[in-house]
Amino acid sequence: MADFLSILARAPLFMGFDEHTISLILEAQGAQLARYARGEVLLREGERTDKFGIVVDGTIFIEQNDFWGNRNLMGRISAGLIFAESFACSRPQRPLAVNVVADSGCVVYWLDCHRLLQQGSLDEKVWRTLVANLIHVLSNKNIRFNEKVTHMGQRTTRDKLLSYLSMESRKAHSAVFDIPFNRQELADYLGVERSAMSACLGKLRDEGMLTFDKQHFHLLEVE
């Protein structure tokens, strides 16, 4: 546990807590540590779970697959972030609408959502802060989901790219920024063909609207 406390201390779920308090919370909540290999499925679409995870090492993908195996990448979860909390905390409990897959070898703490929502042996102030943090995390993830809906609602690949890159620029407060996806992942996230998206990026570069190097982008003002 000690190896991951510094990571958890920077996690939104544990904002305001020192490492000692986080250790007490994990113990009181009966948190379980699990390790997964690259490509291993942590949770499958259609399953039900009363636990949500917090990644402490590596990354995971949240994805949907249609009948023919085409992937819709919903997001990438890196160290310090939680996943499956909406399904774990739902009542009545809803089956997962996504798959959770290890992008790299990863380590995850599993916490019982309904146990977390009960004060139990935790100090009341600690418990209230923890629940408030969970609500903030849920709110922010809902905002990010709405951002994805905005991008995918655009009519063309070009418009989807411009919508996404403009949003990332606003988040970075800069015209120069890095995105968390490689080309295939970005295509899966936006729901477009990779080849068409790559061609569109090249055209936008030729038009003087942006430059890029792998995951590094620089948006340019057009005169």
The pLDDT value given to residue 223: 66
For residue 2, name the pLDDT band (cuts at 50, 70, 90).
low
The pLDDT value given to residue 206: 95
The pLDDT value given to residue 49: 94
* Residue whose token pair is 């146990």: 115
**Torsion from C-alpha of 8, 9, 15, 16, nearest 10 degrees:** 150
Give me the amino acid identity at 47.
Answer: E
Q: Where do runs of H (alpha helix) occur along 122-182?
A: 124-152, 157-172
The pLDDT value given to residue 1: 58
For residue 91, name the pLDDT band (cuts at 50, 70, 90).
confident
Cβ contacts of 219 within 8 Å, gap of 6 or more? 165, 166, 169, 175, 176, 209, 210
Asked whether residue 144 carries a pLDDT value surpassing 90, the answer given is: no
pLDDT per residue as tens digits for the range 163-206: 999 999 999 999 999 999 999 999 999 989 999 999 999 999 99
Asked whether residue 3 carries a pLDDT value surpassing 90, the answer given is: no
| Mean local confidence (pLDDT), 213-217 | 96
Cβ contacts of 34 within 8 Å, gap of 6 or more? 107, 108, 109, 110
Strands (E), the chain: 32-36, 41-43, 51-57, 60-65, 71-77, 82-83, 99-102, 106-112, 176-178, 210-213, 216-219
The pLDDT value given to residue 172: 95
pLDDT per residue as tens digits for the range 39-90: 999 999 999 999 999 999 999 999 988 767 778 888 899 999 999 998 998 8
